[in-house]
């Protein structure tokens, strides 16, 4: 795979040139970018693959939803519906996609919508009976047709965009200069004990402007796993044989947090739609053991034939330091741009 990526280097140069021209046209106003008269926060990344967008969106929901009417708008990756969909009691993961359905299940006090056309999605939300006061755009950093008022850029600690290259040689969707649009850069999936010296090294490597803020977070796992009817402490599972199941971009940390030498680990592609054959194979490997999966996978599997033995492990974003500064910055932006 590495050799193939090197062979495709000329295509990476071409792709980088095309995306740079596109960004230039948006920056100069030659291509139209629509602004909206309310706080719009875009969360995304420069690269493909998991950087922790979902737990970061959930952090923002928790921060804002007690005091503001919040809506999330996602593309709804790999959903089987089309166009604009506003989540309701009849929604499921196939209609909304994994992450939006997870938002809908966890946060009943917000609106959750999907639309590949973010401009239309925001317009539809604002034309509804319950107009949101704040909109969170999930994975919309490259969606330049909407001009968000505030941009949060995520980059994984072990895969910094400054060390990456354009697709298909690397994993970047656009050039590193795209980071200049960010108000805040968050380095995700850090070691929990990341030193101040190492943080400063990364800050210097990214060459941020004096107006841009940088923060460091790690993935914090829950102390319990949950099923439809019960919860079990993670420390009670240490010596129990179980099957660990994940259909996410980077499952290794999830496996490492739970597994012991007796466990089986099954990894599927990100956003995998589990077929009946998949479910039979999983059940055959698990036998009567617990099947523990990620929260994102659980929303797709909770009503399947695996339900009676299926559990999930929630995760959340935790800031290594300065979380109050981050929250104050976001709240100030929302307050200053709130429609009267």
pLDDT in the model for residue 5: 75
Q: Which of 210, 218, 200 is nearest to 52 (CA)?
A: 218
Distance of alpha carbon 100 from alpha carbon 120, whole angstroms: 17
The chain-wide mean pLDDT, for the chain, equals 94
Range 90-103 average pLDDT: 95
Half-sphere exposure of 155 (CA within 13 A, CB side): 25
| pLDDT(10) > 70 | yes
Of 254 and 238, the structure prediction assigns the larger pLDDT to 254
pLDDT in the model for residue 17: 94
pLDDT tens readout for residues 242-264: 999 999 988 999 999 999 999 99
pLDDT tens readout for residues 269-304: 988 989 999 999 999 999 999 999 999 999 999 999
| pLDDT(2) > 80 | no
pLDDT in the model for residue 327: 98
Residues 303, 284: contact at Cβ < 8 Å?
no
| pLDDT(4) > 80 | no
pLDDT tens readout for residues 101-153: 999 999 999 999 999 999 999 999 999 999 999 999 999 999 999 999 999 99
| pLDDT(319) > 90 | yes
| pLDDT(1) > 70 | no
- Structure token digits, residue 309: 């033995």
């Amino acid at each position: 795979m590495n050799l193939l990526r090197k062979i495709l280097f000329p295509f990476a140069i071409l792709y980088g040139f095309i995306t740079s021209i596109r960004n230039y046209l948006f920056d100069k106003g030659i291509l139209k970018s629509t602004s909206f008269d309310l706080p719009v926060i875009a969360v995304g990344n420069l690269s493909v693959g998991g950087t922790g967008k979902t737990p970061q969106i959930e952090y923002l929901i928790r921060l804002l939803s007690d005091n503001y009417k919040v809506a999330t708008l996602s593309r709804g990756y790999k959903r089987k519906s089309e166009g604009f969909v506003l989540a309701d009691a009849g929604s499921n993961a196939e209609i909304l996609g994994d992450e939006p359905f997870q938002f809908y299940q966890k946060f009943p006090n917000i609106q959750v919508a999907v639309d590949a056309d973010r401009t239309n999605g925001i317009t539809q939300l604002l034309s509804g009976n319950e107009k949101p006061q704040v909109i969170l755009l999930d994975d919309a950093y490259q969606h330049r047709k909407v001009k968000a008022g505030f941009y949060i850029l995520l980059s994984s600690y072990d895969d910094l965009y400054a060390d990456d290259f354009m697709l298909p040689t690397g994993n970047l969707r656009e050039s590193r200069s795209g980071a200049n649009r960010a108000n805040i850069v968050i380095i995700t999936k850090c070691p929990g004990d990341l030193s101040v010296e190492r943080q400063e090294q990364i800050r210097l490597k990214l060459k941020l402007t004096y107006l841009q803020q940088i923060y460091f977070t790690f993935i914090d796992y829950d102390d319990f796993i949950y099923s439809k009817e019960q919860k079990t402490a993670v420390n009670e599972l240490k010596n129990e044989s179980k099957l660990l199941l994940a259909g996410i971009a980077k499952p290794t940390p999830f496996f490492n947090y739970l597994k012991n030498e007796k466990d089986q680990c099954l990894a599927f592609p990100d956003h995998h739609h589990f077929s009946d054959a998949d479910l039979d194979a999983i059940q055959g490997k698990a036998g009567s053991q617990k099947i523990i999966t990620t929260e994102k996978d659980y929303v797709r599997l909770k009503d399947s034939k695996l339900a009676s033995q299926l559990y999930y492990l929630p995760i959340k974003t935790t800031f290594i330091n300065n979380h109050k500064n981050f929250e104050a910055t976001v709240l100030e932006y929302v307050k200053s741009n709130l429609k009267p």
